[in-house]
Structure 1
Amino acid sequence: MPSQLTFIGAGNMASAIFGGMIDKGYRAEAITATATRPEHLDTLKARYGINITTDNAAAVVDADVVVLAVKPQKMREVCLALAEAIQISRPLIISVAAGIECEALGRWLGGNLPIIRCMPNTPSLVGAGASGLYATADVSDAQRDLASTLLGTVGLVEWVEEEALIDAVTAVSGSGPAYFFLMIEALEEAGVKRGLDLQSARRLAIHTAFGAAKMAAESELTPAELKRQVMSPGGTTEQAIASFEKAGIKPIFDDATHACAKRARALAAELGKN
């Protein structure tokens, strides 16, 4: 673990990451977080015991790792203001902002820096995240291991070797929690239509999704094989699956993830053009 770690931006995702690190034994006094609202920083300091400041440049002076966790629309402005200080300290840069490519980050920060682009997701807030990571050629093996350790405190870490694949990560896991929330919502509504009360339908839908995900995570069987195990020939589940397939559920997911990845590429072109 690095001796000094700075988070530029201290929203939900940043606090999920450093909160997970602290839970795993990382020293709170070695973490600094910045934000524009002092009252928000005071709350974080009281909860986690970390260092806080509203001065981004001062926060990166002694940092070994700088995590860029500001909104994508603010990233260029923030990076340009940090460039001089970053070029002096030359830390490992980890960006968790959607739609900002490494080339743009490097250009805004002055160039020749080790940069890792990370696409986490919101279940990181409960320690069950899934993060896709891409590293530029300037990132050492030790720095890759370090990033895996940091992001591993809040969930699964998967590396991709081409930056374009971050768009696929966005489509599958970055935006993916919303797909499952939609399925839970739909199953809940279907349960109510079948006569269940709302709270019962919601609890049953949520815990069924949780249990299915837990089985898939812990089993050596593929999801397709697990699905077949639930289906008896001529049984109830077989009828439900047949209805899903008739409606074209796999093409629906294919179209949805294509639209998501396409939008991610458009954002990258739009936000990184200057």
Structure 2
Amino acid sequence: RQIKTMVMVLDGSMTLALLRGDHQLNLQKLADGTGAADIRPAEPDETLERLGAHPGSLGAVGVKDLRIVADHALRGRRNLATGANTDDWHYSGVDIDRDIAVDEWLDLREVSAGEPCVTCGQPLEVVRCIETGHIFKLGRRYAEAMGATVLDADGVERPITMGSYGIGIGRAMAAVAEVHHDDRGLVWPVAVAPYETVITVASMRDDAAVAAAERLYGELQGQGVEVLLDDRDARAGVKFADSELVGIPWRITAGRAVADGEVELTERATGDTQRVAIGDAAARVAATLASARP
């Protein structure tokens, strides 16, 4: 039975956003409902200067000089408590329709798990997620500032209504990493892997292994495979650990098996390793990758 008073600055103007005490403000809904492009919480000194109190004792009763928007869940509510804009003082018995001059009623709150879906009526499930892309309406604010217009049906210039559409490459990578990893590092799906295959030379002192690796590197490139050749002068264990950390889907190891005319194929996701003839390795990997690509 508490009114939560959020002091926000919308496009440079202070605004009070009111919600039920157990609800949380959704900033995107606030932006959509008010049309504001620049939204931030008011600083404590700004709040103190305009309302005369610190957060925890703020309210909208008797406020006349600020815009007040309220969530629909408060409409018609009575016997509420809210800050009195004096530190450590609160009003009780507040009737929001009688005591607060709400300028606009909006949908401002976050939904909660278990609430019915407005479309099908089934209970909602709330899960954590990562925003990898977005689409939202910018309105005409920037169009008017830039003088961006279009002729309407009557030949009259009108400011265009703008939208923003974007995808975050870094966020998309973070989302993939959260889902596709293990205790050794990343496990890139083939569709988004920076390289599809890494060829690891176990020892750069083994001329036969180096020659086999370079041959396979050329063959895989010729078949359109995105391949990395690890020919660093480092221990084999270091190279294996690095390829697992980076998460390249397949590894071809040119090591002792080269003496028998074979190399090792290792799948990063499962760790399964098999020996195949050097002459068959490129075709085997290329065919496997082709079936895994979207």
Q: Same fold judged by TM-score > 0.5?
A: no
Larger strand percent: 2
Larger helix percent: 1
The alignment's TM-score, normalised by the length of structure 1, stands at: 0.27
Larger radius of gyration: 2
